[in-house]
Amino acid sequence: MSARLASLLCALLLAACAPYGGGGPPDGRWQIREIGAMTVPEGVDAHIEFLPDGRLAGRAGCNRYTGNWARQGHEMRFGRIAATRMACAGPAMDVENRLFEMMDKVVRQDRPDERTLILVTGDGRRIVATR
């Protein structure tokens, strides 16, 4: 095997062994763009803000929410989420229901780049957020 081919194979193996969920902690505010197969409609505010003390806050489409989060490596979990209880019609409520249902099932994060955060549920569904 040539030295060039061996170097290429080593680089590929190292890339394959890189831990899933790189990019560090998801500190700050992230605008939620997709929740599972649903694209968040234009004009619906769905965001999440990760605070440094393990708390989080945001808007789920209709209501504001707060809670806590923990991350170890690429694994991530959300604690109990508390939300205001305003009723909304249409897409904002659909976004909110889907977001809360999926946040409860998040098991890991991925940061493919500094501007993208992907929260992944145990069954492989994704919440995609950007800065």
Mean of pLDDT values over 50-56: 93
CA distances from 38 to 46, 76, 83, 92, 102 (A): 12, 22, 21, 12, 12
Mean of pLDDT values over 80-87: 94
- What is the CATH code of the structural domain delimited by 20-130? 2.40.128.270
3-state secondary structure of 15: helix
**Cα–Cα distance, 39 to 26 (Å, whole number):** 21
What pLDDT score was predicted for residue 73? 87
Mean of pLDDT values over 56-84: 95
H-helix segments, the chain = 3-17, 91-103
What pLDDT score was predicted for residue 9? 38
List beta partners, residue 48.
Answer: 30, 58
pTM for this model (two decimals): 0.80
* Domain segments of the chain as ranges: 20-130
What pLDDT score was predicted for residue 1? 52
Mean of pLDDT values over 115-130: 97
What pLDDT score was predicted for residue 89? 85
**Cα–Cα distance, 3 to 16 (Å, whole number):** 20
